[in-house]
Amino acid sequence: MPNPNVTPLAQDFVIAARVPDPERYFFHDPNLARLDDGTLIVAAPLWGRKGANVGRSLRMVRSADGGATWTDLPTLPYEEGRPFVVDGQLFMFVQERTHRDFQIVTSDDRGDTWTEPRTVIEGPLWNISTAQVVRPDALYWAMDHDSAGIDYKGKVMVRWDRAKSPFDPDAWSLSNVVPLPELPAALTRGLYPSDGSSKLHRSSPSPFVWLEPNTVEVGGTIRVFIRSVIDNYATANVAAVLDYDEATNELRFTQFTSWPGGQCKFFVINDEPHRMYWMLSNLVTNSQDILGWGGRMWETGFMGGPGNERRWLFLHYSIDCLNWFPAGCVARWPDSVLRSFMYPSAAIDGDDLVILSRTSRDAANQHDADLCTIHRVRSFRSLAMDLHRGGLAD
């Protein structure tokens, strides 16, 4: 029997979209949604690479056969787009300008046409394909909140009161803004200081950046798990945790926690009927450059510290959304650190897990992705042990 940690679960992929020219364009943060009839929608921000002098738009594609084939939909004039489905209705969070305002559009024809954008919250908000909590009375989604021109500085909980129309600004509210917590000295070796004194060839613009929060309900409590880039990726596998009090509408930082792949963007799936959580993230091999790869990596165009490696996409599972077990490698590029399967999002499709990857195959580096690829992990639940047995669970 193949070992899923050695033999990838879904190495064979389908290309849902590709950039028109990888020397001029890249996909920024693509997002996947599944409609109730099984239709798959991908929204892929298409941005110009540095110096290309081209604009930004939102590429839209759709599949009616589970991701085997894809059809182009009209491109939209937005810099960001995150489709999601509530009560069978297709919505999309969009931004005409990234990191500015919370805007909503909807489609009644599976993405052929969309309504005009409605700004329901004004302010420096941003997020991409991360987990949301949808309850009968409300939708909760933690977002990045910029301050003083600094992206991702704070975090805020966005709430939609579902008793009101999603296009009514009064239906939306914000919690307090949680500022960037102080980074414990024990979590960093300071290998890439921002003053440029690094002996490892690359400095870090900031010793700690947190971004792309996932919002998850765990045991009746809403928690937020946040990607944490520490010391230019040198300290890998750490996430920040926030807890949300619905009664007081208060969000607060509670801890840092170990998190496989927490240094890069990850995606959490709540498989509620099975009392299980699944998580996609990138594992790394040499985050502190102990093996001395850094110089050669940067000479070939690698972006960031060695811990910014994105060529190993892994699937994990948990029953408390905090302690993770390995399910297996989804896909990999074993022969090149300049390639990547990254920025995942996913949807449960019957017994399978359909995964969207922002993928660098023929791009200049591991960040500026040239493809959106679809991976299907069949019978994904069979990869997990029953962690509820033997404990106190009913």
How many other CB atoms are found less than 10 A from the CB of residue 62? 18
SS3 category, 171:
helix
Res 372: pLDDT = 98
- Measuring CA to CA, which residue among 236, 226, 150 is closest to residue 191? 236
Specify whether the CB–CB gap between 287 and 178 falls below 8 A: no
Res 201: pLDDT = 65
How many other CB atoms are found less than 10 A from the CB of residue 100? 17
Res 279: pLDDT = 99
Res 350: pLDDT = 97
How many other CB atoms are found less than 10 A from the CB of residue 5? 12
User: Sign of torsion, CA 44 132 100 147?
Assistant: negative
How many other CB atoms are found less than 10 A from the CB of residue 29? 24
Q: Where does 148-266 show beta strands of DSSP type E? A: 150-161, 172-174, 208-218, 221-230, 238-245, 250-258
Res 394: pLDDT = 63
Specify whether the CB–CB gap between 131 and 269 falls below 8 A: yes
Give pLDDT < 50 ranges for the chain.
none
- Measuring CA to CA, which residue among 87, 134, 127 is closest to residue 103? 127
- What the chain holds in terms of domains, given with CATH numbers, is 14-185+203-383 (2.120.10.10)
Tokens of 193: 């200081």
Distance CA 326, CA 340 (A): 20
Q: How far, in Å, are 152, 239, 246, 323 from residue 257 at the CA level?
A: 19, 5, 23, 9
